[in-house]
Amino acid sequence: MNPVRALGAGFLKFLAANGRLTVFALNGVSHCVRPPFYPRMILRQLIDIGYYSLPVVALTTLFAGMVLALQSYTGFSRFSAEGAIPSVVALSMTRELSPVLAGLMIAGRIGASMAAELGTMRVTEQVDALETLSTNPIKYLIVPRLLAGVTMLPFLVLIGDILGIFGGYVVSVYKLGFNEQTYLINTWNFIESQDVISGLVKAAVFGFLVALMGCYHGFNSRGGAQGVGAATTNAVVSASILILIANYMITEIFFAQ
Partner 1 sequence: MTNTPAPKTPKIRLKDVHKSFGDKRILQGFSLDVMPQESVVIIGGSGTGKSVMLKCILGLLEPESGEIDIDGVRLSTLSRGEREQVNAKIGMLFQNAALFDSLPVWENVAFGLIQGKKMRRGPAKEIAIEKLAQVGLTADVGALSPAELSGGMRKRVGLARAIAGDPDIIFFDEPTTGLDPIMGHVIDELIVKCVKQVGATAITITHDMASARRIADRMAMLYQGKVIWHGPVTNIDNSGNAYVEQFITGSAEGPIKMELRKL
Give contact residues for partner 1 (rule: CB under 8 A).
38, 120-121, 124-126, 128-129, 131-136, 140
Q: Are 85 and 73 in contact (CB under 8 A)?
A: yes
Nearer to partner 1, 131 or 180 (CB): 131
Nearer to partner 1, 128 or 180 (CB): 128
Q: Are 226 and 107 in contact (CB under 8 A)?
A: no
Nearer to partner 1, 87 or 113 (CB): 113
Nearer to partner 1, 81 or 129 (CB): 129
CA–CA dist 217, 214 (Å, integer) = 6
Q: Are 64 and 164 in contact (CB under 8 A)?
A: yes
> Vertex 206, ends 255 and 211: CA angle to 5°?
165
**Residue 33 CB, nearest distance to partner 1 (Å)?**
16
**Residue 57 CB, nearest distance to partner 1 (Å)?**
24
Q: Residue 141: in which H helix or E strand, if any?
A: none
**Residue 227 CB, nearest distance to partner 1 (Å)?**
16
Nearer to partner 1, 36 or 83 (CB): 36
**Residue 79 CB, nearest distance to partner 1 (Å)?**
56
> Vertex 173, ends 171 and 176: CA angle to 5°?
70
**Residue 241 CB, nearest distance to partner 1 (Å)?**
30
> Vertex 81, ends 93 and 158: CA angle to 5°?
10
